[in-house]
């Protein structure tokens, strides 16, 4: 999940927000928990247990507590999920600070931070084959009445700097399913995606534009991509007693994507029924010289086509979840500027709320400015009611006092709750004061604010 910046609303350089917490890998996550407040004891974290944890598939693994009336949540980046001790410490810290919801990143870059998935096991847990981070999180959290939501990065499939070595990773196994930028469209149009040069050009482009592109994305219109993401989500819902699925990066990286040959061909088929015979003949002929002929001639339908690819996947996941687990929530991390999201990223989250195909949206309103933050959250609350909004608070961009002010705003606006980005940053870099960690200070401070 990235630091999200938009014209007229937020300003600054766009960066991959996962990078903010890279310094909080195992050393920070596994450091001594200290003496947490009741009801969590130090022994709950310190006593070693076997690493092997079976996926929780029965009601015995569920929290018996009713769903919290106010969500006080944490985004937990995958760097915390690499060791059993860091998982236990994370849950204990969250409980001790009064948080009641964890969104744990189990699909970070087209991989699996859990066991038995259809995607390759993440590099970070390869050396612990018996360790299931998601199962352990669910067990520890539900024992304390804390909800667990499986956080999936949808279309961001790989960083450009580090490509998975797993041959079954989608980047290596099916490079033809990657999104192509307009800049490379004509160059790659007749290149075999199975050739080494195809992937190399996409990686080189992403690296050269790392200030605005987080990495490699999958093609949202590819049926194989949709099927894979859907299958991952359904597998998680069926095998783990999670409280919900949280989608992130369910959008195009920008309007400059996806110009892969397969996506252009799919658009031609999609628009064919709207064309007259004369138009069809004209543009089929033109496309023989210019592969971009159709998209250049029909920019609005081209935008509608791309938008529909994102919406179709979200709706399918929602309906699939509700058939299997009606009580599980589908939440989506969204860009706070709804117009920018709709026009440039093809993420129509306002439409999703109105159609009822998501339960909750989490606008990532990562601005240090309280006024801009309130504007973004209030707008989201006005679309389909405050009960369907989690306010995303970027703690790493503000101070302790600024974080509490934003939590106060969420309570005044009356939304469903807030999510702090992130647990990992708070533990590794958040300022300590009075012997209390940043996480504990924020958690306890939030509880003192009355609506």
Please provide the DSSP assignment of 60-109 as one string.
GGS--SPPPSSEEEEEE-GGGGGSHHHHHHHHHHHHHTT--EEEEEEESS
Which pairing describes strands 156-159 and 215-217: parallel, antiparallel, or unpaired?
A: antiparallel
Quick one: CA torsion of 438, 440, 441, 445, rounded to 10 degrees? 140
Percent of the chain clearing pLDDT 90 (strictly above): 78
| Any domain includes 184 | no
Determine the pLDDT at residue 42: 24
| Any domain includes 271 | no
Q: Which of 9-23, 108-122, 326-340 has the lowest mean pLDDT?
A: 9-23
Residues 263 and 310 sit within 8 Å (Cβ to Cβ): no
> Is the pLDDT assigned to residue 26 strictly greater than 50?
no
Note the Cα 346 to chain centre separation in Å.
Answer: 16
Whole-Å CA distances, 15 to 18, 210, 289:
9, 8, 37
| Any domain includes 161 | no
Q: How many CB atoms lie within 10 A of CB 314?
A: 22
Residues 23 and 429 sit within 8 Å (Cβ to Cβ): yes
| Any domain includes 3 | no
| Any domain includes 290 | no
> Is the pLDDT assigned to residue 253 strictly greater than 60?
yes
Residues 136 and 124 sit within 8 Å (Cβ to Cβ): no
Quick one: pLDDT band at residue 260, thresholds 50, 70, 90? very high
Structurally, how many domains does the chain consist of? Answer: 1
| Any domain includes 435 | yes
Mean pLDDT (the chain, rounded): 87
| Any domain includes 392 | yes
d(CA 185, CA 259): 5
CATH number of 148's domain: 3.20.20.80
> Is the pLDDT assigned to residue 170 strictly greater than 90?
yes
Please provide the DSSP assignment of 174-239 as one string.
-GGGB---HHHHHHHTTS-TTSHHHHHHHHHHHHHTTTT--EEEB-TT-HHHHHHHHHHHHHHHHH
pTM: 0.87
pLDDT digits (tens, 9 = 90+) for 303-352: 999 999 999 999 999 999 999 999 999 999 999 999 999 999 999 999 99
Q: In this structure, what token pair is assigned to residue 386?
A: 């405050």
Quick one: pLDDT band at residue 56, thresholds 50, 70, 90? very low
Edge-to-edge strands, sheet with 390-394: 360-363, 329-334, 244-248, 147-153, 101-107, 71-76, 417-421, 390-394
Residue with tokens 């929530």: 329
d(CA 5, CA 11): 5
d(CA 438, CA 76): 15
DSSP H helices in 385-449: 400-413, 423-428, 438-447
| Any domain includes 215 | no
Q: How far apart are the first and last CA of the chain?
A: 29
Determine the pLDDT at residue 143: 98
pLDDT digits (tens, 9 = 90+) for 264-286: 999 999 999 888 888 888 888 88
- Enclosing domain of residue 342: 17-153+224-250+305-447
Residue with tokens 């306890």: 444
């Amino acid at each position: 999940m990235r630091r999200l910046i938009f014209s007229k609303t937020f300003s600054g350089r766009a960066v991959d927000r996962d990078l903010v917490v890279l310094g909080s890998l195992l050393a920070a996550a596994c450091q001594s928990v200290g003496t947490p407040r009741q009801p969590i004891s130090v022994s709950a974290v310190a006593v070693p247990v076997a690493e092997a944890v079976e996926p929780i598939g029965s009601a015995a693994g569920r929290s018996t507590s009713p769903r919290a009336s106010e969500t006080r949540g944490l985004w937990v980046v995958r760097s915390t999920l690499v060791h059993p001790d860091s998982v236990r410490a994370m849950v204990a810290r969250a409980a001790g600070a009064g948080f009641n919801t964890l969104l744990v990143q189990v699909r970070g870059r087209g991989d699996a931070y859990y066991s038995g998935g259809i995607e390759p096991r993440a590099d970070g847990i390869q050396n612990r084959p018996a360790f299931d981070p998601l199962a352990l999180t669910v067990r520890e959290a539900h024992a304390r009445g804390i909800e667990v939501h499986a956080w999936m990065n949808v279309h961001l499939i790989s960083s450009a700097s580090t490509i998975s070595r797993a041959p079954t990773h989608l980047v290596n196994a099916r490079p033809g399913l990657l999104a192509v930028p307009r800049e490379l469209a004509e160059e790659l149009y007749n290149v075999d995606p199975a050739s080494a040069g195809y992937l190399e050009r996409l990686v080189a482009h992403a690296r050269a534009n790392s200030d605005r592109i987080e990495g490699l994305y999958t093609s949202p219109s590819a049926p194989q991509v949709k099927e894979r993401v859907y299958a991952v989500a359904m597998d998680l819902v069926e095998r783990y007693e999670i409280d919900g699925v949280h989608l992130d990066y369910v959008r195009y990286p920008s309007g400059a994507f996806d110009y892969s040959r397969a996506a252009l061909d799919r658009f031609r088929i999609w628009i064919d029924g709207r064309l007259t015979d004369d138009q069809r003949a004209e543009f089929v002929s033109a496309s023989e010289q210019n592969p971009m002929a159709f998209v250049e001639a029909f920019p609005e339908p081209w935008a509608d086509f791309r938008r529909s690819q994102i919406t179709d996947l979200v709706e399918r996941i929602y309906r699939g979840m509700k058939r299997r687990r009606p009580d599980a929530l589908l939440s989506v991390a969204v860009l706070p500027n709804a117009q920018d999201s709709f026009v440039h990223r093809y993420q129509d989250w306002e439409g999703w709320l109105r159609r009822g195909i998501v339960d909750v949206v989490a606008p990532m309103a990562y601005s240090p400015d309280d006024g801009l933050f309130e504007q973004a959250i209030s707008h989201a609350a006005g679309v389909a009611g405050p009960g369907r909004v989690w306010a995303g608070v970027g703690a790493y961009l503000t101070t302790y006092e600024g974080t509490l002010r934003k939590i106060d705003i969420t309570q005044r606006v009356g939304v469903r709750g807030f999510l702090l980005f992130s647990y990992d940053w708070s533990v590794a870099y958040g300022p300590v004061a009075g012997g209390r960690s940043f996480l504990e200070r924020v958690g306890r401070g939030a509880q003192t604010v009355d609506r």
